[in-house]
Amino acid sequence: MPAKYMIHAGQTPDRFETVTKSGIIAWEEGCLKCAVCVKKRCVYRVYEKRGLDALQMVDSVDNQCMNCLRCVQGCPKELIHKSVSPEYKALGDEYWSAEIISKIWYQARTGKIPVSGAGYPGPFSGAGFDSMWTDMSEIVRPTRDGIHGREYISTAVDLGGTPRHLSFGIEGALEVPTPKVIDMPLPVLLRVPSVGRITPNLISGWAVAARRLGIFLALGNEHINAAPGTCLSSLMPVVEEESLKCSAYPGTKIMELIMREDTHRVAEMLKTIKEPEFISVRIPVSRGVDDRALALAKAGLSIIHLEGTDDGRFLDDPTKSIKDGIRSTHLRLVEAGLRDAVTLLASGGMAMAEHVPKSLICGADAVFVDIPILVALECRLCGRCGEGLPCPVKMDKAEPVWVARRVVNLMAAWHSQLLEVMGAMGIRDARRLRGEAGRAMFFEELDRSTFANLGKTEEGCELE
Amino acid sequence: MNRERGFVFPEVIKTPSRFRNPIGKYRLNRSKGCISCGKCLETCTRDVHAMVKGKALVRNHYLCVGYDCENPCHQVCPVKALSLRRNPDFETMGDYRWSPDLLVSAWHMAEFGRPPEKGLEYRTGNSGGGFDKLRILFSNKLKDRVDCNSNGLEPDLAVELNRREDNAHRIRIEVPFYGGGMSYGSVSINTMLSRVKAAKALGTFCCTGEGGYPDELKPYDEHVITQVATGLFGVREETIQRVKIVEFKYAQGAKPGLGGHLLGDKVTPGVARMREAVVGYPLFSPFPFHSVYSVEDHKKHVDWIKAVNPRALVSVKVSTPTDVDMVAVGSYYAGAHIIHLDGSYGGTGAAPDIAKKNIAMPIEYAVPKVHRFLTEEGVRDKITVVASGGIRTPHDVVKIIALGADAVCTGTADLVALECIRCHNCESGRGCARGIATTDPELMDLVGLEWGAQRIINMFMAWRSEMIRILKKLSISSLKDLVGNTACISHIDYS
């Protein structure tokens, strides 16, 4: 068994006052100057610890408040009121919601799993990955206790294809070349996001994080020189077809090719490349993605990257989720008997820890995480940098050491959460999670089969 | 309990909020132009306004039904001094599942013992699926049917818990719900006692959760379910022998497949003594029972309880994996009297968000699956199916019973009756700032025992009256006839 995989996380504070849901506390006029004001009774001593950040004009009362509403309910003149922070409401967009963003911040700051009291507060189900639930085991199947370290749960996966069978000579010697794979300890690869203003400091920090985590950072040509030389073996240069031949990066193990054209021509071209040993071919997730992936697998390519949009959808059909693309591609490869000949990587909209196990259950071997490694650095996805406006969190001032620690923290939290999900399912090896759709529950199937045959409305009936 | 039909339900006693300013949906603003003519007091039937020393005041904003009002005071005001708006504080409370409307409705029921008549949506939340898209369906044929309740008797809501016809107690609960497990440590002793006291008054039970059986509960032994969970905290032969129902907690809906976790801060000297642990150190319950890896092992567990307390009913609390139906049948064959399914959206003192959201299926899917499978196996009438995990309203109870449960367990709803505001900070620091889920001596005194018990009684009396109203309207005379009667409900996406 390989050495136990541990990610060393540590508290890494924010640089700026964070935006919280807890909004503005407003005072109306007419204070009675009570001897014991409700503000003094605050359980969290928020009012006592109050401070004003002069630079950002943020009152700490507003973002340290824990929303117990006791001051609101206790003030004799009903002068104190609360509202949800408008800044929080405005964070991100429909997919990269304020809740997702603030959870990424928390994980990047602490390296811990988000824990809260009371039951789940969110909607019943949602689009994409929110329309599936993962399984757990009880009584008839054991769970695994990974999170407290009492049982080792391996999150390692292989990059590269394996032959369908080995053959041996009469003497017992292997007659086929030894299959070569990269053993990656976490089913996650980092990649440079398509949004934000990317500075050399960020690249440097991300590359260090990838090395520390034992995974890869996918990045374009233009960024390679920004990464420290010591991290070269953790980089995954991404190249276009036309520059493929001239772009060998000595010291890298893996490279990615953005495929635009004919499968066979690309396959022939790749055969001539000796270094690096592993090449991933990236294709968009759009209609017919499963057929294209199958053609690539038949042509002998061993790593296929399915790329969805930044909000985890098909490029040509916003109603379809990356999850559907992964599932259908996986099944197509299984049917063709080629599933183990290729590694499936998926990207697009990987925003929360649960997206990793859910992608694997749908059939991916590993996923790319992009936007979260920027959000981990306090990015608010406000898009101001795209318009040439100054960044509210001064991303250009982020130091590589801090960047690396924040991203390592985020991945430590995701790793722990992967252990939680796998432990509950009773699965000890991430490689066994792949394609285990029978250990998941899908909204589309369950909802209809459970509810379609209930009572039917008719004229004159009443609903309540 | 074996009480005959003569059970007398407790009285509803008006029990207002313990806070000075109860939160409602609307606020009425009275401008300086008010001439204190008293017209608003005359118009309003809900006690919103008051005249103090000749001056008209808005005393109870929270009772205002806003735009649903039939005689709006702000329209009759001769000097237009009154204006109505949504209360900004209202929007900061609650979430998709417990919408602010549901919270304020529950508080209304806990205060007055009846559902709010106007202004609030008290039946469904905003989760956009499951219960919130199911509706109780009153067919037009019901109108022609002879009213089976015309004999003047109220529909029977009682549930028999022992269907095995074995040596164990015959237990009948007078209402189709009992209190789910909440440990001493996760909630205060006052909260615990309030719930048990209310359970006694309502002719039902309340579970101790995994954290021992405090001596204060002794007077209520007849109404206590004690829990045996994976950490075995506070479990002794004596505690098992004291009760009529023993619950095995195999899993919890909020954190399926994960153990319990009591943060160090909450392990006060009292809690530590009860759990035989060290003050200030976090306590983890392992997962699962390391002695149970098969139905045979499971049976040994049940037999152990039956050996210690031969007349006890055994309840098996499980979460909702894909094979929940197998688990339920296995539990029947292991000798359980009650199979308690805790769906994935259930409550908790502290759990990883990823588990609450993603692991295991919602109770609305699990119950029909189990009901069908037990029926096919021919054992449905030999075991009681109890559902929990997101039951917020009397309508939820009716819906889940129509989907195939016999009764439900409540947890969060009880806490909401005690004015839980769903801030989700039960686990941090000193615990609940509102004094419900805390062991901090100062904070826990915020909830008085009498007050707490009466609030819970009031809310459940409102639930009871709603269920009776619904059953009458459905022309059903006994709750038993609602079990698995899916024609009584409809899903708005497939109706």
pLDDT in tens, A143-175: 887 777 678 999 999 999 888 888 999 999 988
Contacts of B450 (CB under 8 A, 6+ apart): none
3-state secondary structure chain A: CCCCCCCCCCCCCCCCCCCCCEEEEEECCCCCCCCCCHHHHCCCCCCCCCCEECCCCEEHHHHHCCCCCHHHHHCCCCCEEEEECHHHHCCCCCCCCHHHHHHHHHHHHHCCCCEECCCCCCCCCCCHHHHEEECCCCCCCCCCCCCCCCCCCECCEEECCCCCCCCECCCCCECCCCCCCEEECCCEEEECCCCCCCCHHHHHHHHHHHHHHCCCEEEEHHHHHHCCHHHHHHEEEEEEHHHCCCCCCCCCCEEEEECCCCHHHHHHHHHCCCCCCEEEEEEECCCCHHHHHHHHHHCCCCEEEEECCCCCECCCCCCCEHHHHHHHHHHHHHHCCCHHHCEEEEECCCCCCCHHHHHHHHCCCEEEECHHHHHCCCCCCCCCHHHCCCCCCCHHHCCHHHHHHHHHHHHHHHHHHHHHHHHHHCCCEHHHHCCCHHHEEEHHHHHHHHHCCCCCCCCCCEEC
Q: Which among A67, A118, A139 has the least Cβ separation from residue B348?
A: A118
Domain limits at A323?
157-446
pLDDT at A309: 97
Question: What does the mean pLDDT of chain A come to?
Answer: 92
Average the pLDDT over A288-310 and give the result: 95
Q: Do A424 and B286 touch (CB under 8 A)?
A: no
Phi, psi of B65 (to 5 degrees): -95, 10
Dihedral Cα B157, B163, B165, B168, nearest 10 deg? -80
Q: Locate tokens 């599932």: which residue?
A: A327
Q: Is the pLDDT of residue B146 over 70?
A: no
Q: Do A120 and B344 touch (CB under 8 A)?
A: yes
Amino acid at A300: G
The larger pLDDT score, comparing residue A54 to residue B233, is at: B233
Q: Do A121 and B96 touch (CB under 8 A)?
A: yes
Average the pLDDT over B211-218 and give the result: 90
Instruction: Tell me how many domains chain A contains.
Output: 2
CA count, 13 A, side-chain hemisphere, B178: 32
How far is B2 from chain A, CA to nearest CA, in Å? Answer: 32
pLDDT at A295: 93
* Distance in Å from the first CA to the final CA of chain A: 59
Whether A184 and A281 share a structural domain: yes
Question: Residue B491: beta bridge partners?
Answer: B134
Strands B224-229 and B206-207, by their bridges, are parallel
pLDDT at B363: 97
Residue B121 lies in a domain: no
Angle between helices B449-473 and B394-402 in degrees, nearest 10? 50
CATH number (domain holding residue A219) = 3.20.20.70
Q: Distance between CA atoms of A15 and A391, rounded to whole angstroms?
A: 13
**A207, A228 Cβ separation under 8 angstroms:** yes
The confidence band for B176, taking pLDDT boundaries of 50, 70 and 90, is very high
pLDDT tens, A370-398? 999 999 999 999 999 999 999 999 999 99
Residue A117 lies in a domain: no
Q: Locate tokens 């889920």: which residue?
A: B437
pLDDT at B14: 98
Q: How many C-beta neighbours within 10 Å does residue A402 have?
A: 16
Residue A340 class from Cβ within 10 Å (0-12 exposed, 13-18 middle, 19+ buried)?
middle
Q: Do B348 and A125 touch (CB under 8 A)?
A: no
Q: Which among A137, A148, A462 has the least Cβ separation from residue B138?
A: A462
Which candidate, A417, A397, A217, A91, places its Cα nearest to that of B358?
Answer: A417
CATH number (domain holding residue B35) = 3.30.70.20
CATH number (domain holding residue B332) = 3.20.20.70
CA distances for B250 relative to A139, A301, B326, angstroms: 8, 46, 14
Angular region, B257: left φ>0, alpha ψ -120 to 50, beta rest = left
Residue B267 lies in a domain: yes
Q: Is the pLDDT of residue B457 over 50?
A: yes
pLDDT tens, B218-253? 999 999 999 998 888 888 999 999 999 999 999 999
Q: Is the pLDDT of residue B302 over 80?
A: yes
With beta carbons under 8 A apart, name residues in chain A contacting B319: 136, 138
Extract the tokens encoding B18.
């313990």
Q: Is the pLDDT of residue A308 over 90?
A: yes
Residue of B nearest to A103 (CA): B353
**A295, A259 Cβ separation under 8 angstroms:** no
Q: Distance between CA atoms of B79 and B385, rounded to whole angstroms?
A: 60
Q: Do A124 and B430 touch (CB under 8 A)?
A: no
pLDDT at B150: 58
With beta carbons under 8 A apart, name residues in chain A contacting B360: 133-136, 424
Q: Distance between CA atoms of A292 and A312, rounded to whole angstroms?
A: 19
**A119, B390 Cβ separation under 8 angstroms:** yes
Residue A335 lies in a domain: yes
Whether A198 and A288 share a structural domain: yes
Q: Is the pLDDT of residue A347 over 50?
A: yes
Residue B327 lies in a domain: yes
Phi, psi of A425 (to 5 degrees): -80, -15
How far is B63 from chain A, CA to nearest CA, in Å? Answer: 15
Model pTM score? 0.95
pLDDT at A245: 65
Strands B177-179 and B407-410, by their bridges, are parallel
Average the pLDDT over A6-28 and give the result: 88
Residue A187 lies in a domain: yes
CATH number (domain holding residue A51) = 3.30.70
Whether A84 and A167 share a structural domain: no
Amino acid at A329: T
Whether B67 and B186 share a structural domain: no
Whether A179 and A34 share a structural domain: no
pLDDT at B148: 55
Whether A333 and A214 share a structural domain: yes
Average the pLDDT over B311-329 and give the result: 96
pLDDT at A454: 95
- Of B71, B86, B101, the domain-final residue: B86
pLDDT at A28: 78
Which range (A51-55, A156-160, A448-452, B183-187) has the least confidence? A51-55
**B313, B352 Cβ separation under 8 angstroms:** no
Q: How many C-beta neighbours within 10 Å does residue B456 have?
A: 30
Whether B163 and B82 share a structural domain: no
Extract the tokens encoding B194.
């309030």
Which candidate, B94, B53, B47, B54, places its Cα nearest to that of B73?
Answer: B47
The confidence band for B3, taking pLDDT boundaries of 50, 70 and 90, is very low
With beta carbons under 8 A apart, name residues in chain B contacting A74: 19-21
Q: Is the pLDDT of residue B104 over 90?
A: yes
Residue of B nearest to A125 (CA): B129
Whether B70 and B167 share a structural domain: no
Whether B53 and B198 share a structural domain: no
Residue B240 lies in a domain: yes
Q: Do A121 and B98 touch (CB under 8 A)?
A: yes
**B411, B97 Cβ separation under 8 angstroms:** no
Extract the tokens encoding B422.
């769903």
- Of B39, B60, B86, the domain-final residue: B86
Q: Do A122 and B127 touch (CB under 8 A)?
A: yes
Q: Is the pLDDT of residue A61 over 80?
A: no
Contacts of B126 (CB under 8 A, 6+ apart): A123, B96, B97, B99, B132
Residue A180 lies in a domain: yes
Residue B395 lies in a domain: yes
Average the pLDDT over B11-39 and give the result: 95
Whether B63 and B168 share a structural domain: no
Average the pLDDT over B134-148 and give the result: 78
**A254, A278 Cβ separation under 8 angstroms:** yes
Q: Is the pLDDT of residue A129 over 90?
A: yes
How far is B352 from chain A, CA to nearest CA, in Å? Answer: 4
Amino acid at A428: R
Question: What does the mean pLDDT of chain B come to?
Answer: 93
Residue of A nearest to B186 (CA): A117
Which range (A295-309, B227-241, B271-285) has the least confidence? B271-285
Q: Distance between CA atoms of B283 and B280, rounded to whole angstroms?
A: 9
- Of A49, A69, A90, the domain-final residue: A90
The confidence band for A2, taking pLDDT boundaries of 50, 70 and 90, is low
Is residue B121 within 8 angstroms of chain A, CB to CB?
A: no
Whether B72 and B178 share a structural domain: no
Residue B309 lies in a domain: yes
Please state whether the peptide bond connecting residue B288 to the residue before it is cis, i.e. omega within 30 degrees of 0: yes
Whether A82 and A165 share a structural domain: no
pLDDT at B451: 98
Average the pLDDT over A11-16 and give the result: 96
The confidence band for B2, taking pLDDT boundaries of 50, 70 and 90, is very low
Question: Residue A27: beta bridge partners?
Answer: A80
Extract the tokens encoding B471.
């059953």
Instruction: Report the residue of A65, A71, A78, A136 to disrupt the B interface, i.e. the one with the largest count of B CBs within 10 Å.
Output: A136
Average the pLDDT over B157-179 and give the result: 96
- Of A90, A107, A140, the domain-final residue: A90
pLDDT at B1: 41
Instruction: Tell me how many domains chain B contains.
Output: 2
Contacts of B454 (CB under 8 A, 6+ apart): B13, B15, B198
pLDDT tens, B367-406? 999 999 999 999 999 999 999 999 999 999 999 999 999 9
Which candidate, B292, B293, B323, B286, places its Cα nearest to that of B305?
Answer: B292
Q: Is the pLDDT of residue B143 over 70?
A: no
CA distances for B237 relative to A28, B213, B228, B241, B271, angstroms: 59, 12, 11, 6, 19
CA distances for B26 relative to A85, B40, B48, B355, B424, angstroms: 20, 16, 11, 36, 24
Whether A363 and A281 share a structural domain: yes
Question: Residue B52: beta bridge partners?
Answer: B55
**For the ranges A79-93, B229-243, B298-312, the one whose mean pLDDT is highest:** B298-312
* ipTM of predicted assembly, 2 dp: 0.94
Domain limits at B50?
26-86
Average the pLDDT over A83-103 and give the result: 93
Q: How many C-beta neighbours within 10 Å does residue A124 have?
A: 24
Instruction: Report the residue of A43, A143, A448 to disrupt the B interface, i.e. the one with the largest count of B CBs within 10 Å.
Output: A43
Extract the tokens encoding B479.
């709750």
Q: How many C-beta neighbours within 10 Å does residue B213 have?
A: 23
Average the pLDDT over B138-152 and give the result: 68
Residue of B nearest to A147 (CA): B258
